[in-house]
Amino acid sequence: MKAVKLQLATRTLLNPGAAQWDKVPVEEVRLAGMPVHAQPSRYVRTAWADRPVGAVRFLSVRAAHNSRDIIFRLEWADETENRDYANGTAFPDAAAVIFPMNGDAPLETMGSAKAPVNAWYWRANFEEDAAENLISRGLATEEVSGSGSVKARARWGDGKWRVIFVRPLTASERQGVEFKNGKPVKVAFAVWEGSNQERANLNAYSKEWRELIVE
Amino acid sequence: MVFDLNKCIGCQTCSVACKVLWTRDEGADYQWWCTVNTLPGRGHPRDWEAMGGGYRDGVPQTGRRPTREEWGGGWDFNYEEVMYGGKGQSVHLHHLGEEPKWGPNWDEDQGAGEYPNSFYFYMPRLCNHCTKPACVEACPRDAMYKRPEDGIVLRDENKCRGYQFCLEACPYKKIFFNFQREVSQQCILCFPRVEQHVAPACVRQCPGRAVWFGFMDDESGPIHKLVRKWEVALPLHAEYGTEPNIFYIPPVGPSRLNDDGSFDADTPRIPTEYLERLFGPRVRSSLATLTGEMQKTRGGGKSELMDTLIAYWWKDMFKPFDREPAEIQWQDLPLVELPESKGAR
């Protein structure tokens, strides 16, 4: 997978509907539900034993950069726009772009103590442009780390979510993953369907790391 | 904690004591950590007994989260308009926004039965700080924990990310979701007071002297006497499997009235079968003990049980937590900082 180099202002690419995105090759990513048997809580394992996890199965991803910022555009079909907790009956929709902090990490456990992952996390009830920079060292251990300068902008329409994640290519080591031209970086994706009560480690994710090359 | 349902008059002082102290902020305003509901009744949240959770034979049971509507409450009123609007009698106090459909004591005083044998009693409920708390086990982030020093169940609001598995797992539905701060919240047993040997607010403020507070293993204390020695105080819905630490002395209640207006002394107006559904089969022996000891004292005899139940000295009901809250320099205690709002609000 390539993060295509474009001579465009970040401002332009921050718009999920920008025509320029059509020129960026799309990566079709198949998602699968997080396995229930691996969930850290016995309550969750029992309550979700017979329930389908990971309602969203297909994700389209485009990646680009302009030497300053790296930008990901995620798009997936979702009939229901879940923007909040719906008075206790649902959860907000959410998505994440995930990287190993240091080269490699176990994806199925969202990192480990020795090999953490960095997740750029957006949720539909965040304010405009807001995103969280998370460091995870295993299932359910995620912590918000600094500002991370990660931003996200989302639009829902025509039964689809379109979410842009953006971050400067250069970030301090403590805050998140590093990108170096030409050096492949592993990347994965996760989507939470709020109307299916998905949150925490109940989500759909790309089961394997993909190699991302920053052109 | 032990509540004597023979004494509770449903005055709601405990509910308000807690509300005024802990749940006034936005997001917490609809939460009533302590509620007093009329039984028989649907309770708070509405029909909570059908929402699952807890354990059966040690296996976690699937539960569901109450909805905002099932909790109800947190209403806004047109105070400004009534008090300062200059509209005199042309405007009256009313709620703003959607029509309320439920609240913390919505079906108060309705009860059940047919006149003249209608019946009801009041039941205060709060977090049971269970010995086997399903909420603690349910949290994948270990944000909920039970303190070893005093058994109080608390949550770490820095760790909580609002997953709400605790809400699903609690069979008593006494955990709430703060929709503004996106964390779960529940009764904290007034731990800042308890740490200073001051009784929880609901305990101390009860004008009916209907509640005792203390450690179970203090054999000289009332909790041990009422729960272990005399076995008159019983857990609510023990079948939920979490070993709650709040116990109830069942209401003896009045006798049934016959058609001719005479009392049927052998039949209580509150059906024992109904009390069994709440407190289990041991409720029969508890009621028998209570009525037996009450008879004894009516006949002039002595009863350690009645001496414990009658609040001769108010502070004996919650020793050694009998320090005056006014004595404490609360502002000198280390302040716990609330975590910053999450999610880039």
**What are the tens digits of pLDDT across the range A41-100?**
999 999 999 999 999 999 999 999 999 999 999 999 999 999 999 999 999 999 999 999
CA distances from B10 to A215, B4, B32, B208, B250 (A): 71, 12, 15, 9, 15
Highest mean predicted confidence (pLDDT) among A161-175, B104-118, B331-345: B104-118
Determine the distance in angstroms separating the CA of A173 from the nearest CA of chain B, rounded to an integer: 21
In the predicted model, what is the mean pLDDT of residues B22-50?
Answer: 96
**What are the tens digits of pLDDT across the range B147-166?**
999 999 999 999 999 999 99
B223 membership: H or E segment, kind and range: helix B222-224
Which among A41, A88, A200 has the least Cβ separation from residue B65?
Answer: A88
Let me know the angle formed at the C-alpha of B83 by B79 and B89, rounded to the nearest 5 degrees: 105
What is the pTM (predicted TM-score) of this model?
Answer: 0.94
For residue B81, give both structure tokens. Answer: 């308009």
Determine the distance in angstroms separating the CA of A90 from the nearest CA of chain B, rounded to an integer: 10
In this structure, CATH architecture of domain B2-327: 2-Layer Sandwich (3.30)
For residue B270, give both structure tokens. Answer: 């509150």
Nearest to A55 by CA among A168, A213, A199, A210: A199
ipTM of model: 0.95
- The per-type count for chain A, helices as H runs and strands as E runs, is 2, 14
Q: Given a cut of 50, is residue B345 above it in pLDDT? A: no
Q: Is A36 helix (H, G, I), strand (E, B) or coil?
A: helix
Range of the domain at A123: 2-214
Quote the pLDDT of residue B342: 40
Are the C-beta atoms of residues B248 and B279 closer than 8 Å to each other? yes
CB atoms under 10 Å from CB of A79, counted, come to 8
Q: Hey, what amino acid is at A38?
A: A
Are the C-beta atoms of residues A128 and A153 closer than 8 Å to each other? yes
Determine the distance in angstroms separating the CA of B217 from the nearest CA of chain A, rounded to an integer: 30
Confidence of residue A148 (pLDDT cuts 50, 70, 90): low
In the predicted model, what is the mean pLDDT of residues B215-226?
Answer: 96
CB of B171 within 8 Å of a chain A CB? The answer is no
Residues of B in contact with A126 (CB under 8 A): 343-345
In total, the C-beta contacts within 8 angstroms joining chain A to chain B are: 71
In the predicted model, what is the mean pLDDT of residues A105-119?
Answer: 96
In the predicted model, what is the mean pLDDT of residues B16-45?
Answer: 96
For residue A152, give both structure tokens. Answer: 């996200």
Query: In chain B, what are the domain boundaries?
Result: 2-327
Residues of chain A with a CB closer than 8 angstroms to some CB in chain B? 39-44, 46-47, 84-85, 87-89, 123, 125-127, 130-132, 139-142, 144, 199-201
Do the Cβ atoms of B345 and A127 come within 8 Å?
yes
Are the C-beta atoms of residues B325 and B318 closer than 8 Å to each other? no
Q: What percent of chain B has pLDDT over 90?
A: 92
Quote the pLDDT of residue A149: 87
Q: Given a cut of 80, is residue A158 above it in pLDDT? A: yes
Quote the pLDDT of residue B55: 98
Quote the pLDDT of residue B344: 33
B30, B46, B59, B161, best to mutate vs chain A, most A CBs in 10 Å: B161
Which among B63, B138, B177 has the least Cβ separation from residue A88?
Answer: B177
Cα B203 to its chain centre, rounded Å, is: 11
What is the per-residue DSSP string for B140-157? TT--EEE-TTT--EEE-T
Q: Domain count for chain A, please give it.
A: 1
In the predicted model, what is the mean pLDDT of residues B135-140?
Answer: 97
Quote the pLDDT of residue B64: 97
CA atoms lying within 13 Å on the CB side of residue A21: 23
Report the CATH number at residue A142.
Answer: 2.60.40.1190
Which among A42, A85, A199 has the least Cβ separation from residue B60?
Answer: A42
**What are the tens digits of pLDDT across the range B324-336?**
999 988 887 776 6
Bond before B320 cis per omega within 30 degrees: yes
Q: Given a cut of 60, is residue B339 above it in pLDDT? A: no
**What are the tens digits of pLDDT across the range B56-95?**
999 999 999 999 999 999 999 999 999 999 999 999 999 9
In the predicted model, what is the mean pLDDT of residues B230-235?
Answer: 98
**What are the tens digits of pLDDT across the range B273-324?**
999 999 999 999 999 999 999 999 999 999 999 999 999 999 999 999 999 9
CB of B7 within 8 Å of a chain A CB? The answer is no
3-state secondary structure A94-113: EEEEEEECCCCCCCCCCCCC
Which among A42, A84, A201 has the least Cβ separation from residue B137?
Answer: A42
Lowest mean pLDDT among A66-80, A92-106, A130-144, A165-179: A165-179
Evaluate the CA torsion angle B53, B55, B60, B62 in order and state its sign.
negative
Q: Is B287 helix (H, G, I), strand (E, B) or coil?
A: helix
Nearest to B16 by CA among B202, B203, B177: B202
Which among A87, A131, A201 has the least Cβ separation from residue B140?
Answer: A201
Do the Cβ atoms of B59 and A142 come within 8 Å?
no
Quote the pLDDT of residue B53: 97
For residue B262, give both structure tokens. Answer: 């005479």
Quote the pLDDT of residue B61: 98
Quote the pLDDT of residue A180: 79
Confidence of residue A34 (pLDDT cuts 50, 70, 90): very high
Q: Given a cut of 70, is residue B341 above it in pLDDT? A: no
Torsion of CA B77, B83, B89, B95, to 10 degrees: 0
The b-or-e profile of B168-193 (16+ CB within 10 A means b, else e) is bbbbbbbbbbbbebbbbbbbbbbbeb
Q: What percent of chain A has pLDDT over 70?
A: 98
Angstrom distance (rounded) from CA B23 to CA B19 = 5
CA atoms lying within 13 Å on the CB side of residue B49: 12
Kindly provide the residue ranges of all beta strands, DSSP E only, lying in chain B, ordered along the sequence: 2-4, 35-39, 55-56, 59-60, 121-125, 144-146, 153-155, 175-178, 183-186, 211-212, 234-235, 247-249, 255-257, 263-268
